[in-house]
Amino acid sequence: SRTPLTLLGTGAMGSALARAWLAAGHRVTVWNRTPARAGALAAEGAAVTASAAEAVAASRLVVACLLDDASVGEALEHADLTGRDLVNLTTGTPAQGRARAAWAEARGARFLDAGIMAVPPMIGHPESGAHVLYSGSGALFEEHRDTLAVPAGARYVGADPGFAALHDVALLSAMSGLFAGVTHAFALIRREDIAPGDFAPLLASWLTAMTQSVHRTAERLESGDYTEGVVSHLAMQSAANATLLRTAEEQGVSPELLTPYMDLMARRVADGHGDEDGTGMIDLLAQAAPRA
């Protein structure tokens, strides 16, 4: 029979998760700070409790999907976590994940932190590519792997409870740069007689082709060789940046999303690394600030 579970937080994401588990035949107990927001799930078969402590008492497997790390601490303040398997699907930082793991373990629970790589409509549809990154207790992950894989693909990224958040944030940070580039590209064509709908397929196929470079970057980081077989070296790229900036000016578009990356490249070239590809910029960036 399916593992019963408790879900804390029935916001947009929590509700989607609860529905996926209910649809798969799990007994689901839910709690939400604002009780009215759990009402729809009660009609769909979830058991609703009046307090988080009661919800935690109802199942050994407890999943939290709340706003932020502080809300997890608040919600669980008066709950007995002894013998519980706590899975934290709340977005946080690596340090918050590690601190929350120590906090949960000190209260007698096994702990997994997680980062959800999906939006609510993708939950319950693993074919959409929806997945969740988990880190922390490997024993917890192994025991509940099948249950965790119901709402979205489940990937374990390490015993360090900070790693799920670190992977999550690294992926989101890469997306931020990607979206910055897309924003600038559409701005360049904005005032011309170019239909955005005609431009979008060109942009999508270009970006798809370019993403393959991440594998070469990983190889170079692992080998330490940033110059062998470079086809588009930094000195050349730096010169091409002038054309990108001049075009932005011609089109009346602010260069503010491009210049931070270009400035970093110029620094690497000025340091005498114009014969490399972009890999050395990673070292430059990682050395920029002392670790917190």
The minimum distance between CB 153 and ligand NDP, in angstroms, equals: 14
Q: How far is CA 141 from the centre of its chain?
A: 19
Residue 194: which residues within 8 A CB-CB, separation 6 or more? none
Q: Is 53 in the site for ligand NDP (CB under 6 A)?
A: no
The single-letter code of the amino acid at 16 is A
Residue 214: enclosing H or E segment and its boundaries? helix 213-223
Shorter beta-carbon distance to ligand NDP: residue 75 or 281: 75
The minimum distance between CB 79 and ligand NDP, in angstroms, equals: 12
Residues 198-257 that bind ligand NDP (CB under 6 A): none
Please tell me the distance from the alpha carbon of residue 26 to that of residue 45, in angstroms, as a whole number.
Answer: 10
Contact 135, 110 (CB under 8 A): no
The single-letter code of the amino acid at 134 is Y
Q: Is 14 in the site for ligand NDP (CB under 6 A)?
A: yes
Residue 95: which residues within 8 A CB-CB, separation 6 or more? 162, 292
Residue 229: which residues within 8 A CB-CB, separation 6 or more? none
Q: Is 33 in the site for ligand NDP (CB under 6 A)?
A: yes
Q: Is 34 in the site for ligand NDP (CB under 6 A)?
A: yes
Q: Pick one of 120, 126, 138, 181: the residue that binds ligand NDP (CB under 6 A).
A: 120
Q: Pick one of 3, 45, 74, 233: the residue that binds ligand NDP (CB under 6 A).
A: 74
Shorter beta-carbon distance to ligand NDP: residue 32 or 241: 32
Q: Is 149 in the site for ligand NDP (CB under 6 A)?
A: no
The minimum distance between CB 168 and ligand NDP, in angstroms, equals: 8
Q: Is 66 in the site for ligand NDP (CB under 6 A)?
A: yes
Q: Is 54 in the site for ligand NDP (CB under 6 A)?
A: no
Please tell me the distance from the alpha carbon of residue 1 to that of residue 27, in angstroms, as a whole number.
Answer: 10
Please tell me the distance from the alpha carbon of residue 72 to that of residue 92, in angstroms, as a whole number.
Answer: 10
- Structure token pair of residue 110: 């096994």
The minimum distance between CB 173 and ligand NDP, in angstroms, equals: 14
Considering only the stretches 70-78, 98-106, 199-207, 284-292, report the one whose residues sit in contact with ligand NDP under the rule CB under 6 A.
70-78
Q: Pick one of 49, 59, 88, 90: the residue that binds ligand NDP (CB under 6 A).
A: 90
Please tell me the distance from the alpha carbon of residue 124 to that of residue 203, in angstroms, as a whole number.
Answer: 30
The minimum distance between CB 24 and ligand NDP, in angstroms, equals: 20
Q: Is 280 in the site for ligand NDP (CB under 6 A)?
A: no
| Signed CA dihedral, 248, 249, 254, 259: sign only | positive
Residues contributing to the site for ligand NDP (CB under 6 A): 9-14, 32-34, 37, 65-67, 71, 74-75, 90-91, 116, 119-120
